[in-house]
Chains A and B, each alone.
Chain A
């Protein structure tokens, strides 16, 4: 398994509070991604990074921001959480030698916004 960890694994928060999810990789992969998974939608891309300090928006970026100050860490922030952001969040990495186009996923973070 690729070395990808996500923290926290579970979080319950209240509407309007800020939340930060962390993704950490030990594979030195160039690309990192944040997805959310909702019933009937598969996984949808929120933001991605193609290098340190280089990020861009995905399909469902409204209400989310990201930062990548080190190769190994990619943070996802919900500035003011809403109930519609209740979801399971997955981090992924790609760009490794021998598997450049495949993405490898972390275990996920289940976020509940009350």
Chain B
């Protein structure tokens, strides 16, 4: 039973346009959400996070939106750049439970020049 799901395995977007990545979760105990970016043969790199007490967090070109009632979060990348081509994972945790992360299956993003 996957508690965190990324239903789109891949996404292709033109350079300069917006990339929107989606993530759904089922466990209402999750109170902290993160996005990671991963290049081949490297470890995941932390991108941005959001606490369940917020509905939006922004960091430069990256914005994460959280809709608790729908158990849905999304990552917006504006504008998309060729260097953003990677696999993106969303993850969720219960902060009081040792920060253990539950990951989605990932979305592969290709930004075309």
Query: Chain A: residues with CB nearer than 8 A to chain B?
Result: 4, 31, 33, 35, 40-45, 48, 50, 56, 58-59, 90, 92, 94-95, 100-108
Contact = CB atoms under 8 A, between A and B. Distances in A.
Nearest to A100: B99
Interface in B67-109: 89, 91, 93, 95, 98-106
A33 B105 contact: no
B100 A33 contact: yes
Contacts, number: 63
Contact of A42 (B93, B98, B100, B105): B105
Contacts of B93: 101
Please classify how large the interface on chain B is, using the bins under 10, 10 to 19, 20 to 34, 35 or more: 20 to 34
B75 to A, nearest CB: 15
Contact of B101 (A41, A43, A56): A43
Given A106-B43, A108-B41, A101 B105 contact: no
A25 B105 CA distance: 27
Given A33-B100, A102-B34, A105-B43, 12 more contacts: A35-B103, A40-B105, A42-B103, A42-B104, A43-B44, A45-B100, A90-B43, A103-B34, A105-B45, A107-B43, A108-B41, A108-B42
